[in-house]
Amino acid sequence: MSPHRRPRRTAALVSAAAVTALLATGCSSSGSGSDDPNAKITLSVGDFGTFGYKEAGLFDEYMKAHPNITITENTTTQEGDYWTALQTRLSGGGLDDIQALEVSRIALATSDQLSGAFTDMSKAAGVEKDAYLPWKWQQATTADGRTIGLGTDVGPMAICYRQDLFAAAGLPSDPAQVSALWAGDWAKYVETGRQFQAKAPKGTYFMDTATGLYNGVVSSSAEQYYRKGKLAYQDSAGVRSGWKLAAEAVQAGVTQGLKEFDTPWQTAFSNSTFATTVCPSWQQANIEKFSGPGNAGKWNIAQAPAAGNWGGSFLAVPASGKHVAQAQALAVWLTAPEQQAKVFQKVGNIPANQKAYALPGVTDFTNPYIGPKAPTGQIFSTAAKAITPAETGPHHGDLHGAFSNGVLLMEQNHKSADEAWAATLKQVASSVQ
Amino acid sequence: MATPTRTDRSDPAGPPPTAPQGRREPTALRSRLHRWGHLASPYLFVAPFFLVFAAFGLFPLLYTGWLSLHRVSLYNVDKADWVGLQNYSDLLFGPPSHYFWNALGNTVTLGVLSTVPQLLAALGLAHLLNYRLPARGFFRTALLAPYATSVAAATLVFALIFSPEGGMANWLLGLVGAGPVRWEAGPWSSQIAVSVIVIWRWTGYNALIYLAAMQAIPRELYEAAAIDGANRWQQFRNVTVPELRPTILFTVVVSSIGATQLFGEPYLFGGQSGHQGGADHQYETLGIFMYDQGFHSSMLGRASAIAWIMFGLLLLVGLANTLIARRLRSAT
């Protein structure tokens, strides 16, 4: 009776779901519940920030093609809040049919503790393993070979810069020349900052925050917080060099010391008080939103000193869902090349699906707001392919948060590099068991 | 139905002599039932409260206590390892003790910074509103507006006011020639900013309580004082404040409990680092510390231990208030 056969142990769950569906709709006459492909069902998608599905009209498109399915989106602005709620629901119930997972959480989600809560997407119908960036696929795969999430986007980094401020400070403003200023070395980026600051217009800074710089250095390092399955933050090459450069940048006074994503940071975009920000592809949407129409055409985009990944997410289907098969089908469809390309063109999220890069409108994409002449699509897809995957672990997100906060201690609370380092280690000791 | 009881009561030594032997059994049963009903019905009437309290008050309290003796992670509550009093000793002496004592200190300083000006301002406002002035009704309603505003909305507005990027607070400081302050970064400036939000929200609420109490003070006392030549300030000090003493005590108790549980204002004020009360934990309260440990670091056992310590502290605060109240009462 059903095209989607379920494992036996979920039979009870399915019948319970059928009863619930009957009670909820009060009009179902088929009685076959969620296994009936034509039964009217609602799929809820839990995500955070800007996934772009609604913006690109993908939910509407899917609902049109599947008249029996209604899609609702539960979206949270801050990923931190989203993850907190998700953790609570993992033990308490109330999960959405599809739950997005951010890359910093994926190591925890694939750990033995949590991976059982999600279904194996590699077995979902129509999924093409080879289409996804190999390291992205690997990140969502557990030790025993189950893949719990499909990559939606990756966060290859570039540097977005204000060409008007660069020109005012006597620096080149063409993307190729700007990329050459710091090609291959983050230290050159800080050095450019010194040059900028020496002749900068009054009240402007070279970068928004040193945490962005720290993040850029660590994310483009092969060694981050883990080494061979063990915590290695104290002597990790990536953490050490990121910390050192961030401290230098603070010392040199080239950062404005804003906290990323906070209101003052957002306001600073429209006040034009800083000249560069480390910008993964998804950040383009924020830059346009916060800088406002008054600053159109003033931003441009250059290659980062080294290719790194900041952010990017996965779609996972919780095993406890009422409509697992339908939810998997939706997740597969949403992460297919055509859909990822549409999302990219709408909100700038770089596809995790390599096949999307070959589609027209991705590699040759230019952003009408940010440097209309900059080869935006090319910059990001080159960076995406050049990313060296680094080992991560369950506490990656916590550690990265603690160290980024440590950088903030240097630039906002005027602590010395050593004081801030000690405070960060203390914080890690207290929050990582 | 009332008759047997009355007979019963009028002759507690035995059955009513007029009652025939054959009818004795049912009467006794009925009277016993009735007496039982008489005893039980008050409890039945209050039962809903106790059931709700047991489900939503007592059970969470005990469950939290049980959790506090375990190492348990937020996303796997079923798997709890017994660790005894480890969580408590960690908090008081172990790795997180630095943050615990820091949060406790901040809770006290934030409590003083917000409660004292708040109650003083409320007293002053209530005194002013107690006079006959035009549009008194409007002012009284306006007092409650901040209290009715959601904490999220209020805090977001104040975060803008204290923003280093074109915030109003720094603009005002600039007018008098003082340099811009990084409100959120400094330990004192950030605590002052948070206190301002708390004061703004709760002053009107307390003022209305004071106003209600002031209106119950007999007019004759003021008239007598006026005849004795007391001016308005002397009337306020010598008539209003002593008469308001129980009300003031009540607001002190309520405000100090509120201060101990302070969470929303500093959490939202901190934005991205609100979960730990600022980048340097500079305005982390016990409530935020509990949230951070439980929901950010997923250490539910330790968060439960913090909850129990807070519960103990609240009992102490209540006890201290009672003692002070008793002393004040015996002093008068």
B127: confidence class by pLDDT, cuts 50, 70, 90 = confident
Q: What does the pLDDT look like over B260-299, one tens digit per residue?
A: 999 999 999 998 889 999 999 999 999 999 999 998 888 9
B26: confidence class by pLDDT, cuts 50, 70, 90 = low
Cβ separation of B185 and A91 shorter than 8 Å?
no
pLDDT (mean) for B44-53: 91
Q: Which residue of B has its CA nearest to A87?
A: B75
Report the alpha-carbon distance of residue A334 to residue A149 in Å, rounded: 12
If we measure between CA atoms, which residue out of B209, B217, B241 comes closest to residue B144?
B209
Percent of chain B residues topping a pLDDT of 70:
92
Taking the Cβ of residue A420 and every Cβ of chain B, the question of whether any pair is shorter than 8 Å is answered with no
pLDDT at B10 over 70: no
pLDDT at B139 over 90: no
Chunked in runs of 10, what are the mean pLDDT values of chain A (433 residues)? 39 43 39 60 93 94 96 90 89 92 92 92 93 92 95 94 96 94 96 96 96 96 93 95 97 95 92 95 90 94 94 94 95 96 89 90 88 88 87 89 95 94 94 77
Q: With contact defined as beta carbons under 8 Å apart, do A59 and A343 qualify?
A: no
If we measure between CA atoms, which residue out of A79, A63, A219, A64 comes closest to residue A135?
A219
pLDDT at B3 over 60: no
Size of interface A-B (CB pairs under 8 A): 91
Q: B222 burial class (0-12, 13-18, 19+ CB within 10 angstroms)?
A: middle
User: Counting every residue, how long is chain A?
Assistant: 433
What's residue B22's pLDDT? 47
Q: With contact defined as beta carbons under 8 Å apart, do B122 and B210 qualify?
A: yes
Our CA-based measurement puts residue B213 at a distance from the nearest CA of chain A, in whole angstroms, of 42
Q: Mention every residue, 6+ apart, whose C-beta is less than 8 A from residue A383.
A: A156, A157, A158, A303, A304, A307, A308
Q: Tell me the chain A residues in contact with residue B92 when contact means C-beta distances shorter than 8 Å.
A: none
* The residue to which tokens 């231990």 are assigned: B305
ipTM of the complex: 0.80
Q: Tell me the chain B residues in contact with residue A265 when contact means C-beta distances shorter than 8 Å.
A: 165
* The residue to which tokens 């980048």 are assigned: B279
Strands (E), A325-426: 350-351
pLDDT at B131 over 60: yes
What pairs with residue A158 in β-bridges?
A: A279, A303
Structure tokens at B20: 């025939």
Q: Tell me the residues of chain B between 41 and 60 that have a Cβ less than 8 Å away from chain A.
A: none
If we measure between CA atoms, which residue out of A369, A381, A412, A375 comes closest to residue A162?
A369
Taking the Cβ of residue B73 and every Cβ of chain A, the question of whether any pair is shorter than 8 Å is answered with yes
Taking the Cβ of residue A273 and every Cβ of chain B, the question of whether any pair is shorter than 8 Å is answered with yes
Report the alpha-carbon distance of residue A321 to residue A96 in Å, rounded: 7
- Cα distances (Å, whole numbers) of residue B156 to A252, A269, B13, B168: 32, 19, 73, 13
Cα-Cα-Cα-Cα dihedral of A389, A391, A392, A393, to 10°? 160
Long-range contact set of residues B134-140: C-beta below 8 Å, sequence gap at least 24: B140/B208, B140/B211
pLDDT (mean) for B59-65: 94
Taking the Cβ of residue B63 and every Cβ of chain A, the question of whether any pair is shorter than 8 Å is answered with no
Taking the Cβ of residue B184 and every Cβ of chain A, the question of whether any pair is shorter than 8 Å is answered with yes
The b/e string for A84-114 (b: 16+ C-beta within 10 A; e otherwise) is bbbbbbbbeeebbbbbbbbbbbbbbbbeebb
Our CA-based measurement puts residue B64 at a distance from the nearest CA of chain A, in whole angstroms, of 15
What's residue A80's pLDDT? 83
Q: Tell me the residues of chain B between 138 and 177 that have a Cβ less than 8 Å away from chain A.
A: 156, 159-160, 163-167
Q: Which of B75, B164, B295 sits opposite A90 (nearest CB)?
A: B75
- Most confident stretch, A31-35, A112-116, B96-100, B324-328: B96-100
DSSP B180: P
pLDDT (mean) for B103-116: 96
Q: Tell me the chain A residues in contact with residue B159 when contact means C-beta distances shorter than 8 Å.
A: 263
Structure tokens at A248: 């230098």
- Cα distances (Å, whole numbers) of residue A135 to A130, A131, A309, A312, B209: 11, 12, 11, 12, 63
What's residue A49's pLDDT? 86
Q: pTM (2 decimals)?
A: 0.83
pLDDT (mean) for B200-222: 93
Taking the Cβ of residue A114 and every Cβ of chain B, the question of whether any pair is shorter than 8 Å is answered with yes
Structure tokens at A188: 């050159």
* Neighbour count for residue A330 (Cβ, 10 Å): 24
Report the alpha-carbon distance of residue B19 to residue B14 in Å, rounded: 11
Long-range contact set of residues B213-219: C-beta below 8 Å, sequence gap at least 24: B213/B243, B213/B244, B213/B247, B214/B126, B214/B127, B214/B130, B214/B240, B214/B243, B214/B244, B215/B130, B217/B243, B217/B244
CA-CA-CA-CA torsion sign (A119, A125, A130, A133): negative
Cβ separation of A91 and B295 shorter than 8 Å?
no
Please give the domain boundaries of chain B with CATH numbers for all domains. Answer: 97-331 (1.10.3720.10)
* The residue to which tokens 């004071």 are assigned: B210
Q: Mention every residue, 6+ apart, whose C-beta is less than 8 A from residue B46.
A: none
pLDDT (mean) for B92-121: 95
